Amino acid sequence: MTLTIENLRIAAAGAVLVRDVSLTLEPYRTVTILGETGSGKTLVAEAAMGTVAPELAVSGRIADGGEISDAADQGARRGAWGRRIAMLPQEPWVSLDPTMRSLAQVAEGHRFVRGLGPGPARRQARADLASLNLAAGDDRYPHQLSGGMAQRVAFASARAGGAPITLADEPTKGLDATMRDAVVALLRKAVEEGGSLLCITHDIAVAKALGGEIIVMLKGEIVERGDADTVLVAPSHPYTRRLVAAAPENWPTATATATASVPGDVVLEGTELAVSRNGRRLFSDLDLAVRAGEWIGVTGPSGCGKTTLGNVLLGLMPPASGRVRRRAGVASTRFQKLYQDPVATFSRHVSLRTALAETTARHRVSFDDVMTLLERLRVPVALLDRRPDQVSGGELQRVSLARVLVAKPIFLFADEPTSRLDPITQQETMDVMREVTRERGCGTLLVTHDRTMAERITERRITLGSDLA
Amino acid sequence: MGRLVAILGQRLVQAVTVAFVVSLLCFALAQLLPGDQALQIAQRRYGDDRVTTAAAEAVRAELGLERPLALQLIDWMGRTVSGDLGRSLVSGAPVWEEIRDQLGATLALAGAALGLALLLGPVFGALAGLRPGGLADRAGMAAAAAFRAVPNFVVGLLLMVGCTVLFGWLPVGDSRGWLSLLLPALTLGLGLAATSARIARDGVVAALRSPFFAFARMKGLSRAEAILRHVPRNAAVPLIAYLAVSFAFLIEGVVVVEEIFAWPGIGHALTHAIEGRDVPMIQGTALMLSLLLVLLNALTDLALLLVDPRRRA
């Protein structure tokens, strides 16, 4: 079955969000749409499913199999759900019904969409789960599944209706490398079995692993398209070139740039640290000294205690055993933390200027210091009068970095500070963070699930999670 | 299974603690009531005009009311632990015998009220929740707010007046079997139905807006199929949790409603025991009502365990 989108256009009052997008997806083929937040790539997927917000005007034609429909008639797309197009949920854990066992959630596709009887539907669901090495998960509830298992249950239930076309919008968002590879393997399996895949992502590594046709979108338009081997290896459009260069594997390595700066004195030291959660030992016997100006990477799978380590070092929680020594005679406010989700760390109701003014008042520094920092971090001054939800994620993360730097930290714990940003913004943010922290002799512990990125920008790395079976 | 034992164990400990505290409180409050205890009891026994100081003194001596308070309390507690609730100071009959029949009447009333609330609340709540902002939602929630705001003695009186005017019959006492149960049960149940409708409505709306409902639709299930399979259980979780809290309201309402409708239940008995300074009766009835509350809470725990697998871990 072939999915065709012709001349898709989506507009809001006064702005065109998607312009002139056409694509054809054939069996055994993959099309990946690459682009940053706001490029309109998710809207294309929503148009294919007929779930574009009703206040937006949609036009164009969408066809799958023999069914051709006007893209404006979104209700007409409902017949495709589960039958012709399977939509993978972004966050499988919350997309599964918490009160229903895995097997039943897969079986309902076979039963209600394909019309099998209850018995055969369950047998088929059991076979689906077994083929994903999940037989043991049959009678478990979602809260008993690991992230990876939930991912596979969601995959099996989305496809149980027998849809040949799979649609995946950011299927690897926030996943560590191991989980990401597992998801990519699932998607490839769907294609190898004769299906076709439309994948939307900003992760170059995922696009590369999936292969097929790449469509690069920028500000609602397609700026480049072609075979993955061509587009990702020899991009022609300047934006694509920046996008590919921004993939962590293409960053210059830290050792090359870091030889110039010699790490300074120890600012913080942990000896024989051990951390437990719910009675389970996450890691033990960890020795770590952070020196002024150096960057240390902390990597490891989800739940291995990366964030907990930072909280222990900052003194926000006690270790299960071992001790933490922070440099004597230094105010505790000079040990700072940069959070993963900047939006959550700002009050939604006040302007950024007010938020920053409160911080400078608290640390008794002049507001000019912040202005200097913001300039250094390339944050336009005009943004200060907006509220946190009115600026982009990358801008807000740089504002929160400025806010943290006001306290003149000698140690910074950066907890996945760029994981929600698209690659170009991620690289820009990381670059400027590194420059400023080095300049100011701030020792930085960077938590990331992206091992490649850690290898590129940190001098040393700690891997947690080896204690976990 | 381990979870089940843990919950029942917790509730058992709670029952013992509640029993202890309630009897202590009842005893203390009975002492604080104005007037001479022996005189009040004598009045109850012999009637207002025939009571004399001598009769009061006789009562005092007979019941050991001249003994120190601590001694009376310890005495009562010792007997309670061995399952003996003592004898009514007024009638002289064992408290348990007095309460036994009344407890049945109260259970019938509370059961009927709960049944009505569970019949009306979730049905209207679900109807409102399926179309948020629709006519059923707005009308239903306005009615729910009204019923929740009006105290149940007002509802009871209004129902009584209505019944008398329409049918020329005043439903008090249990003279007419289940028919006379209907009005007090409605009085007690409407308030509960109103709040549970509200909770059920919010539960349904939350389930309809959840990512798992959206995903069920994307899998290809029709709206009706997705609603039937994914909404009821998920909406039931907050509803049951709420019911656990609202049982206190139910028990409290029993006392008021029984008094209004002269329903021969335990709440009615409690009011009379207080008027008569009948301490063992007060303690016995209050104890039964508190244990009833603990029992109901244990039952909701079990229901939650059944509905929500996350609690079984």
The torsion angles phi and psi of B54, rounded to 5 degrees, stand at -60, -40
Euclidean distance between CA atoms B77 and B75, whole angstroms: 6
Q: Which of A191, A217, A250 is the last residue of a domain?
A: A250
Q: Is residue A214 part of a domain?
A: yes
CB proximity list for B234: less than 8 A, separation 6 or greater = A97, A98, A99, B203, B206, B207, B210, B212
* Identity of the residue numbered B122: P
Euclidean distance between CA atoms B269 and B93, whole angstroms: 14
The number of distinct structural domains making up chain A is: 2
Euclidean distance between CA atoms A364 and A60, whole angstroms: 58
CA-based nearest residue to A212, from A194, A232, A233, A228: A228
User: Do residues B72 and B276 lie in contact, with contact meaning Cβ atoms separated by under 8 Å?
Assistant: no
For A6, which DSSP code? E
CB proximity list for A335: less than 8 A, separation 6 or greater = A268, A313, A314, A315, A326, A409, A410, A411, A413
Per-residue pLDDT, A468: 46
Same domain, A206 and A326: no
Report the residue of chain A nearest B304, measured CA to CA: A99
Euclidean distance between CA atoms A172 and A181, whole angstroms: 9
Euclidean distance between CA atoms A326 and A410, whole angstroms: 10
* Identity of the residue numbered A366: S
Per-residue pLDDT, A22: 95
User: Do residues B246 and B300 lie in contact, with contact meaning Cβ atoms separated by under 8 Å?
Assistant: no
Q: Mean of the pLDDT values across residues B163-191? A: 77
Which token pair is B268?
Answer: 């009615």
User: Do residues A459 and A296 lie in contact, with contact meaning Cβ atoms separated by under 8 Å?
Assistant: yes
Q: How far is CA B236 from CA B123, B202, B207, in A?
A: 12, 11, 10
Same domain, A259 and A245: no
A345: CATH: 3.40.50.300
**Long-range CB contacts for residues A224-232, cutoff 8 Å, separation at least 24:** A228/A32, A232/A204, A232/A207, A232/A208
Q: Is residue A182 part of a domain?
A: yes
CB atoms within 10 A of CB A383: 18
Q: Is residue A268 part of a domain?
A: yes
Euclidean distance between CA atoms B51 and B45, whole angstroms: 9
Strand ranges (DSSP E) for A162-220?
Answer: 165-169, 196-201, 213-218
Same domain, A166 and A271: no
CB proximity A139 to B under 8 Å: no
Per residue in A380-426, pLDDT (tens digit) is 888 899 988 888 777 888 899 899 999 889 999 999 888 777 888 88
Dihedral angle over CA of A226, A229, A233, A239, nearest 10:
20
Q: Supply the range of the domain harboring residue A352.
A: 254-463
Per-residue pLDDT, A466: 63
CB proximity A99 to B under 8 Å: yes
Per residue in B215-263, pLDDT (tens digit) is 999 999 999 999 999 999 999 999 998 888 888 888 888 888 888 888 8
> Least CB-CB distance to B217: which of A81, A83, A99?
A81
Same domain, A334 and A358: yes
ipTM: 0.77
Coil/strand/helix, residue B282: helix
Q: Mean of the pLDDT values across residues B9-25? A: 85
Highest mean pLDDT: which range of A84-93, A112-121, B80-89, B164-173: A112-121
Same domain, A34 and A127: yes
Coil/strand/helix, residue A272: strand
Coil/strand/helix, residue A25: strand
CB proximity A49 to B under 8 Å: yes
Euclidean distance between CA atoms B240 and B301, whole angstroms: 9
In sequence order, the β-bridge partners of residue A425 are none
Per-residue pLDDT, A469: 38
Residues composing chain A: 469
Which token pair is A135?
Answer: 């037989």
Q: Does pLDDT of B204 surpass 60?
A: yes
> Least CB-CB distance to B229: which of A95, A108, A160?
A108
> Least CB-CB distance to A95: which of B215, B225, B307?
B215
CB atoms within 10 A of CB B232: 18
pLDDT in tens, chain A (469 residues): 889 999 999 998 888 999 999 999 999 999 999 988 778 888 999 999 998 988 899 999 999 877 788 888 888 888 899 999 999 987 788 899 999 999 999 999 999 999 999 999 999 999 989 888 887 767 888 888 877 788 889 999 999 998 999 999 888 877 777 778 888 998 998 899 889 999 999 888 899 999 999 999 999 999 999 999 999 999 999 999 999 999 888 888 765 444 445 567 888 999 999 988 777 788 888 899 999 889 999 988 777 888 889 999 999 989 988 999 988 888 888 999 998 878 888 988 899 999 999 999 999 999 998 998 898 888 888 889 998 888 877 788 889 989 999 988 999 999 988 877 788 888 888 888 888 888 888 999 999 888 888 988 898 898 887 644 3
Mark yes or no for CB contact A157/B212 under 8 Å: no
Q: What is the separation of C-alpha A417 from the centre of its chain, rounded to a whole number of angstroms?
A: 11
Q: Which of B208, B210, B218, B237 to mutate to test the interface with A (most CBs of A within 10 A)?
A: B218
Mark yes or no for CB contact B212/A96 under 8 Å: yes
* Identity of the residue numbered A328: A
Mark yes or no for CB contact A108/B217 under 8 Å: no
Q: Which of A217, A250, A283 is the last residue of a domain?
A: A250
What sections of A117-176 are H helices per DSSP?
118-131, 147-159
> Least CB-CB distance to B309: which of A141, A158, A160?
A141
- Start-to-end CA distance of chain B, whole Å, equals 10
Per residue in B268-281, pLDDT (tens digit) is 888 888 887 787 78
Q: Are strands A221-227 and A213-218 parallel, antiparallel or unpaired?
A: antiparallel
Mark yes or no for CB contact B222/A163 under 8 Å: no
Per-residue pLDDT, A409: 92
Which token pair is B58?
Answer: 């006789």
Euclidean distance between CA atoms B94 and B88, whole angstroms: 6
Per-residue pLDDT, A256: 45
Same domain, A205 and A293: no
Which token pair is B12?
Answer: 């058992």
Angle, to 10 degrees, between the axis of helix B232-260 and the axis of helix B178-208? Answer: 150
Report the residue of chain A nearest B236, measured CA to CA: A99
The model's confidence at residue B1, banded by pLDDT at 50, 70 and 90, is low
Q: Mean of the pLDDT values across residues B160-179? A: 71
- The single residue listed with the structure tokens 């770590």 is A288
Q: Is residue A359 part of a domain?
A: yes
Mark yes or no for CB contact B309/A98 under 8 Å: yes
> Least CB-CB distance to B212: which of A97, A101, A161?
A97
User: Do residues A363 and A333 lie in contact, with contact meaning Cβ atoms separated by under 8 Å?
Assistant: yes
Architecture of domain B98-312: Orthogonal Bundle (1.10)
Mark yes or no for CB contact A91/B215 under 8 Å: no
Q: Is residue A92 part of a domain?
A: yes
In sequence order, the β-bridge partners of residue A288 are A270
* DSSP code per residue over A359-421: HHHHTT--HHHHHHHHHHTT--GGGGGS-GGGS-HHHHHHHHHHHHHTT--SEEEEESTTTTS
The model's confidence at residue B172, banded by pLDDT at 50, 70 and 90, is low
Tell me the chain A residues in contact with residue B237 when contact means C-beta distances shorter than 8 Å. 99
Coil/strand/helix, residue B66: coil
Q: Is residue A50 part of a domain?
A: yes
User: Do residues B46 and B244 lie in contact, with contact meaning Cβ atoms separated by under 8 Å?
Assistant: no
Spans of all domains in chain B: 2-81, 98-312
Q: Is residue A438 part of a domain?
A: yes
Q: How far is CA A63 from CA A60, A70, A151, A271, in A?
A: 10, 9, 29, 62
Coil/strand/helix, residue A11: strand
What sections of B150-278 are H helices per DSSP?
152-167, 178-208, 211-218, 223-230, 232-260, 266-275
Same domain, A282 and A151: no
CB-based burial label for A429 (10 Å; 0-12, 13-18, 19+): buried
CB atoms within 10 A of CB B119: 12
Q: Give the number of A-B residue pairs with CB atoms closer than 8 Å.
A: 78
Tell me the chain A residues in contact with residue B225 when contact means C-beta distances shorter than 8 Å. 108, 112
Per-residue pLDDT, B18: 86
